[in-house]
Amino acid sequence: MGGAEVNLSVQIGKLTLQNPVTVASGTFGYGVEYAQLVDLNQLGAIVVKGIRLGPVRGNPTPRTVEVASGLINAIGLQGPGVDGFIKKYWPFLKELKVPTIINIWGTTVEEYAEVARCFDALGGVGALELNVSCPNIKEGGAQFGTDCKLLSQVVAACRKATTLPLITKMSPNVVSIAPYAKAAEEAGSDALAVTNSYPAMAIDIETRRPKLANVTGGLTGPCIKPIAIKLVWEAAKSVKIPIIGMGGIQNAADAVEFMMAGAAAVAVGTANFYEPQTALQVITGLREYMQRHGLTDTRQIVGSVLVEK
């Protein structure tokens, strides 16, 4: 098809991504699981599953349920903790050509800061994503993302603890995202990830029991895309820092839509579970879209939605 060369690179704080397509935390493990199926070095970045200081056992099963065009999950952030991650997964990740973004969480502001310090000291980490929006754990997670004051404290404490770029992963479970987005920006976040899963529930009508052991979970997949697009649009209007948009992306057209709403980069999430090649297909399709429209830089797309008035 030819056409002009396109510049896909994106800046997140001091971190440069070779292209704007990343993967959503919790949908790509620690990268190594997909190494046989996906050329990891083609991605913009790998975002690993949420990590707190110590190991986490996670919720009882059933942990996920398929719904129309989506998935509800309540995994409960099962994970190896900081030391387990460094021992088991970091030797593989640090050799990749693409940056690793580590999603971190805690049950106190101090724990977030401590985890941030650990990864700052590790060296070679691309950025930290602050998970203040997981709906499936009793302590920590969404309680920090739905309280402006706590959100500011978490971001500020992590800002003090590390010079790594900070991405705050926003909760969708708020009346208006603008004040939260501003609070994260003012506290020193370099970017926002919009959005996490939506609180949801499904019931087995034969047994009258919830389909998840945790009763409720977080809804993701194509069914949340239109509401995530709106959140990105609102967040983008209220801050100057870049936004990583996510929620049901299945192809390049979905990614372009998020970018037009204001996302500088995107993340493929639930689609990884059924089509591991999705992120790579999005990169190829994005390049083709840009060539077809005579665009040479992704910044020509970001926030370009035409809204009257």
Q: Which residues bind other proteins (CB under 8 A)?
A: 26-29, 33-34, 36-37, 57-58, 60-64, 66, 68-71, 73, 75, 78, 221-222, 270-277
Looking at beta carbons only, is 77 or 283 nearer to other proteins?
77
Looking at beta carbons only, is 73 or 189 nearer to other proteins?
73
Cβ atoms 162, 128 nearer than 8 A: yes
d(CA 135, CA 4): 44
Bond prior to 226 in cis (omega within 30° of 0): no
Looking at beta carbons only, is 56 or 115 nearer to other proteins?
56
Looking at beta carbons only, is 63 or 159 nearer to other proteins?
63
Shortest separation between residue 289's beta carbon and other proteins, angstroms: 23
Q: Give the pair of three-digit tokens for residue 56.
A: 């986490």
Shortest separation between residue 179's beta carbon and other proteins, angstroms: 33
Q: List phi, psi (to 5°) of 87.
A: -75, -45
Q: Give the pair of three-digit tokens for residue 230.
A: 């709106």
**Is 223 one of the catalytic residues?**
no
Q: Which residues are catalytic?
A: 134
